């Protein structure tokens, strides 16, 4: 069983200041726009720590903390894939290529996005909003 939720200082010491800015932005976005509980666990082979945002057995997204960066995981089922494909020209080339090169599984596309700075944060927010509309959009 997982022992302790890391504090902000522990996360920042692993991520570094630049990646921490992106981390704070995405965590604040999810926590202020969705009513999903953060579930912390050891990151296993994907990182030191993992936080999944879950409700009623469903996961909105997950973040894996590692040295100098974190990885955002957003899983798209059929409906989300169709929405993304209609809107894909609004995303950065990096996200479009990642989506195109991601294997299609029976349960959808698992988009693993490495984040070391702010460059993909807005794209990740939009991917999350495709997955589920926010309860209310706040900045």
Where residue 93 sits, what CATH number does that domain have? 3.90.1150
Burial degree of 35 (CB within 10 A; 0-12, 13-18, 19+): exposed
| Mean pLDDT in residue range 39-66 | 94
Q: Per the structure block, which two tokens stand in for 7?
A: 């504090």
Q: What is the mean pLDDT of the chain?
A: 94
Domain annotation covers residue 13: yes
Q: 68, 116 in Cβ contact below 8 A?
A: yes
Domain annotation covers residue 115: yes
Domain annotation covers residue 138: no
pTM of the model: 0.93
37-42: strand order across its sheet: 37-42, 49-55, 58-66, 69-76, 108-115, 104-105
Domain annotation covers residue 50: yes
Boundaries of domain holding 34: 8-131
Please check the confidence at residue 138 and state whether its pLDDT lies above 80. Answer: no
Span 118-129, pLDDT tens digits: 999 999 999 999
Domain annotation covers residue 14: yes
Which residues partner with 54 through β-bridges? 37, 59
Count of domains observed in the chain: 1
Domain annotation covers residue 2: no
pLDDT bucket at 2, cuts 50 / 70 / 90: low
Domain annotation covers residue 3: no
Domain annotation covers residue 122: yes
């Amino acid at each position: 069983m997982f022992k302790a939720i890391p504090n902000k200082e522990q996360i920042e010491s692993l991520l570094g200041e630049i990646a921490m800015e992106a981390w704070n932005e995405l965590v604040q976005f999810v926590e202020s726009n969705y009513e999903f509980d953060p579930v912390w666990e050891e990151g296993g082979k994907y990182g030191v720590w993992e936080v999944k945002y879950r409700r009623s057995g469903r996961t909105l997204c997950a973040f894996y903390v590692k040295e100098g960066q974190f990885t955002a995981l957003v899983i798209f089922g059929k409906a989300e894939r169709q929405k993304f494909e209609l809107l894909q020209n609004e995303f950065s080339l990096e996200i479009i290529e990642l989506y195109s090169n991601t294997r299609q599984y029976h349960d959808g596309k698992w988009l693993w996005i490495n984040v070391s700075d702010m460059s993909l944060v807005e794209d990740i927010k939009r991917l999350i909003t495709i997955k589920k509309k926010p309860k209310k959009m706040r900045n």
